[in-house]
Chains A and B, each alone.
Chain A
């Protein structure tokens, strides 16, 4: 991709630095003149939103640690201390707790966007795999963080999830004892979860750098699912996409702020305002909403090892999508049958989430089993077979043609600096 101006340092200081560490040129080529497909829609703004949310979670998290005590007798009280005594503590804690949910909302939209437009296909497989790594790390980070307030849901969520490892044959109990540092979830568990909850976000940040690096090798996919062929197909990152990402971010922050200021506990669970009690399990344990589909899969297999294996498989199968989807056409805009199955899959995931929030009895169990079956059917049968039997619509010759139609457009030259 050529045609955009390269960085030329102007000030003496910039020249001095650039000769010693060419970081200004790297930032310039990555975030100023980087050529993005001109047809990117608002579904492409969630990468920027996620970067912002990661930074926001790290900033609020680092501040919360200044007031939090990771000790089983003091943790719950220290969270209440943050809520009642610390200046703006309520704001920072609510921003952090709801920020996790916002992170997952943006993450799931970002993932479904990739599935819809085939963003995982050649040459973006490594980009997709790095995204799956980020997702798994985020799931782990959010789980560890939810334990720290040491409420009833924290404690029993930690117990149930760590007990998943006891399903491993032969060494399962040894592994859970090792994870707990005792014979049950206790102070040792809280301490190590705190340590890892602080570590993992920085590992996520590292993988995000790799993710962006892998993105900037082929460049962004786009709604047409075809690669840019000429300068007419692209626009520089700044100002066209900085303003688009910025506008989307502001809209997203309005949504986020509405949760923080008006319904800060809507996505949480009232039982987590009861201090952890190892002697009593709450009547109805539910994980945070972003785990519910996988929780439903766990419960729908009537075997401990089978349920655990199915749950982990449901996450890991996402990594294999680039090789399970056999279609050569990327975008669902030109795949009429895949588009239907895509929305069926979205509905399947949402319904699985609903089943995960319901008690495991009666109709919910049967429905969850059917949905679990369909979840795996989508990846293992529908994706591979559809690519072979589906007849895609004609793909446009270029991105400019997809945007402007076949007639040459007067603006197509002027819009380009």
Chain B
């Protein structure tokens, strides 16, 4: 940005049109633009950041679930951070089906052992990893969960088997506080 190229000749002093030295006007031009650009960035940030989750949303972080009453083979759906979480009390057949599947058949290969803390309890976020629908439990070819929106099929470990979803159903952070109390989050 030199005076000879950016400043109209009529507004510059005769010296600046011939001199390669930057003028005071060039300095002011560059300095004002730089400060203005940085200032615009700082001013824009709050306008963008206000759209991120607010304090009340962040505060609703963990829930407790009483699992004592969930029968074998039953699935209970609880709400955590606005999302459904499936708490599945799996039967021995379901566990066996999940564990008998070779990893080579899985689009997102993870063993069933890595996805559960106790074999009979599968805890997964009930949001299809494709486009966010809630799959129907115990449906589809693998009897785990089937998403009606675009046909993603999950097995009894919540792993994607067929369909457009790219990943397995997510496992939320959870722990067993007692034998019958599950804490999610």
> Interface residues, chain A, CB within 8 Å of chain B?
156, 159-160, 162-164, 166, 177-184, 186, 188, 192, 278-285, 299, 302-305, 307, 359-361
Contact = CB atoms under 8 A, between A and B. Distances in A.
Interface of B: 48, 51-54, 57, 77, 79, 81-84, 127, 129-135, 147-151, 164-166
Given A281-B133, A281-B148, A284-B148, A307 B164 contact: yes
B168 to A, nearest CB: 13
A237 B135 CA distance: 57
A164 B149 CA distance: 13
A183 B81 contact: yes
Contacts, number: 86
Given A182-B57, A281-B149, A177 B52 contact: yes
Contacts of A360: 150-151
Contacts of A178: 48, 51-52
Sorted from nearest, which 8 A-B pairs have the closest CB atoms?
A163-B132, A184-B82, A163-B131, A281-B133, A183-B81, A281-B134, A159-B132, A160-B131
B133 A285 contact: yes
Contact of B84 (A179, A279, A305): A279
Contacts of B53: 177, 180-183, 188
A184 B83 contact: yes
B131 A302 contact: no
A188 B151 CA distance: 29
Given A279-B77, A304-B165, A164 B131 contact: yes
Contacts of B52: 177-178, 181
Contacts of A304: 129-131, 164-166
B83 to A, nearest CB: 5
A307 B152 CA distance: 14
A284 B130 CA distance: 15
A192 B54 CA distance: 13
A279 B130 CA distance: 17
Contacts of B130: 163, 304
B131 A159 contact: yes
A159 B134 CA distance: 10
